[in-house]
A and B are shown apart, each in its own frame.
Chain A
Amino acid sequence: MNCDDIQNALYVYLDGEFAELEARDFERHVDACARCTKLMVREGRFLEAVRDAAPQDPAPAGLRDRLALAIDNAPSPLPATLPVAPRPRGWAFALAAAALVLVAVGLSVGTTASAENTVIDESVATHQKSLPMEVRGSHRNVSDFLQQNVPFAVDLPTFQDPTARLVGARLTRVHGREAVLLNYEVDGERMSVIQLAAETSVDDAEPAVQSKRGFDVWTFKRKGVLNSFVGRDARSVRRLVRAAYRR
């Protein structure tokens, strides 16, 4: 390391974010360099002084009680209970679909295979329902709506493709979990994108496809969000999946 490296990495060092080895490298230079030693003392003292002096104002006296009351009055946080037994028609459908799919393409999305199948089934069902959107219009509107209503960042796909247009979004449930349904219009056809937070923060998973009830269902995982794309036109859906995954 040279003086510039020290300059650039000084906070990483002071914040204790260096690995042991890098820290030793860092110290070796600083110990031997009077200029950097001064720099570090200066920066360290300053940072410490800011931390010491920055006021930590206590919350107003009644806030805790007001919060407790607001939470008492809030609806139950339990996921609304879905009917446990699938309705007969849906069940028959699922069986038929399962029989048709001979090979489930490897979906290493960090959930069990049956959970993935549930997600895929429910994605198709959701797509087929043509649910009304809760918010329509621009990317901005939709992303504001999502940020307000979903606690974590939804990975709203954007496409350079002029044939793909975001129509709107609504909250939904997939596999008993909070999910977001996004509708796009692609060459005049409706495409659904369903997103839910992945169960664990494992790595991204590449897009994989299955066909269900005449739809291609693509799933992939990106930034901790499980994505499922459903549409009729296999080619354009595949193109958009690629674009969304690589973004």
Chain B
Amino acid sequence: MIFQPKREKPSEEQSLREGFQREALPHMEALYNSALYMTRSPALAEDLVQETFLKAFRFWHRYEQNTNCKAWLFRILTNTFINKNRRKKRPTMSMDATERELSSALVADKSSFYDTPEKDYISKLFPEHVQKAIEALPENFRIPVVLADLQDFSYKEIADIMDCPVGTVMSRLFRGRKRLQEELFEYAVELGVIPASVARDDDGAVSLDAYRRSKKAAAG
């Protein structure tokens, strides 16, 4: 019979639990939102977030205080998702089917837009189209796009989260965004999101400052 040491002082455990509530739980919204893009299903997203938090809690003593908690949680989320997905491929979510569905939805919308006289005044992409286009990306591209464009993680952080080199992040992000563009570009031009004057290669000079400013403002 081995002597079973008294587990731990309740106060120590209490402060760990409180620390977790304070530091980890506030990232729930961001995790849920990304989980939704990864799983494409509210029920699965909720399961994934719950599993992520339970795992994070189990390893909370390994988290280094005051480091990047959000990135740490995303790393667990991403690993859990990739692993689950690898184990059971869901036949219902064939990429081809999703992509076909997406294209036809876009085609239908485009044609109605030709008939709308107010089209010049609309300058936003429709959220549901963007969501579908992101969800239709293959997993390898979808994850970096979600992490970079929806969660504003840096390349280095994404590399840590996905456990791959920064170069891989860059090339996957490049290809993922190019695919999004293939899906959404014409539609963006028609909506006036991308001015016709720059839609094609011609002549004409426009400043880059606007985008960088908006990026800075978003970061600040």
Determine if A94 is an interface residue (Cβ-Cβ < 8 Å).
Answer: no
Write out the residue numbers on chain A whose beta carbons fall within 8 Å of the beta carbon of B95: none
A37-45, A127-135, A185-193 - interface stretch: A37-45
Pick from B16, B149, B177: contact of A54, CB under 8 Å: B149
What is the distance, in angstroms, from B83's C-beta to the closest C-beta of chain A? Answer: 4
Number of interface residues of B (CB under 8 A): 83
Give bound CA distance, A49 to B210, whole Å. 13
Chain B residue nearest to A77 (CB atoms) is B60
Cβ contacts B184-209/A at 8 Å (1 or 0 each): 11001000011100110111111010
CB of A234 within 8 Å of the partner chain: no
Query: B69 interface residue, CB < 8 Å from A?
Result: no
Q: Tell whether A68 pairs with B130 under 8 Å between CB atoms, given A50-B149, A77-B60, A144-B83.
A: no
Asked if B44 is at the interface (CB within 8 A of a chain A CB), the reply is: no
Specify which of B6, B49, B75 is in contact with A63 (CB 8 Å cutoff). B49
Decide if the interface of chain A is mainly helix, strand, loop or mixed: helix
CA distance A42 to B173 in the complex (A): 17
Nearest Cβ in chain A — how far from B148, in angstroms?
7
- Distance in Å from the Cβ of B183 to the closest Cβ of chain A? 10
Q: Does A4 contact B (CB under 8 A)?
A: no
Instruction: Judge if A27 is at the interface, Cβ distance under 8 Å.
Output: yes
A197 interface contact, C-beta 8 A: yes
Q: With contacts A81-B8, A148-B83 known, is A57 near B16, CB below 8 A?
A: no
- Chain A residue at minimum C-beta to C-beta distance from B131: A55
| Interface: B90 (CB within 8 A) | no
Total chain A interface residues with beta-carbon distance under 8 A: 62
- Cβ–Cβ contact B124 & A71, under 8 A: no
Instruction: Give Cα A124–Cα B67 distance, bound, in whole angstroms.
Output: 33
Contacts known (A50-B130, A58-B29, A67-B50); A76 close to B79, Cβ less than 8 A = no
Residues 137-151 of A, flagged 1 when their CB comes within 8 A of B and 0 if not, give 000000010011001
A230 to B53, CA, bound (A): 34
Binary CB contact string for chain B from 1 to 29 against chain A (1 if under 8 A, 0 otherwise) = 00101111000110011001100010011
A64 touches B (CB below 8 Å): yes
Q: Is the CB of B155 within 8 A of A41?
A: no
Inter-subunit contact A38/B193 (CB<8 Å): no
B38 CB-CB contact with A under 8 Å? no
Kindly list 10 other residue pairs between chains A and B, CB separation below 8 angstroms, not including A144-B86, A152-B79, A177-B62.
Answer: A37-B208, A38-B206, A45-B211, A49-B194, A50-B134, A59-B33, A77-B59, A78-B8, A83-B3, A197-B62
Which B residues fall within an 8 A CB radius of A? 3, 5-8, 12-13, 16-17, 20-21, 25, 28-29, 32-33, 36, 42, 46, 49-50, 53-62, 75-76, 79-80, 82-83, 86-87, 124-131, 134, 148-150, 154-155, 163, 170, 173-174, 177, 180-181, 184-185, 188, 193-195, 198-199, 201-206, 208, 210-212, 214-216, 218-219
Residues of A within 8 A of B (CB): 8, 11-12, 14-17, 27, 30, 34-35, 37-42, 44-60, 63-64, 66-68, 70-72, 74-81, 83-84, 144, 147-148, 151-153, 177-178, 197, 223
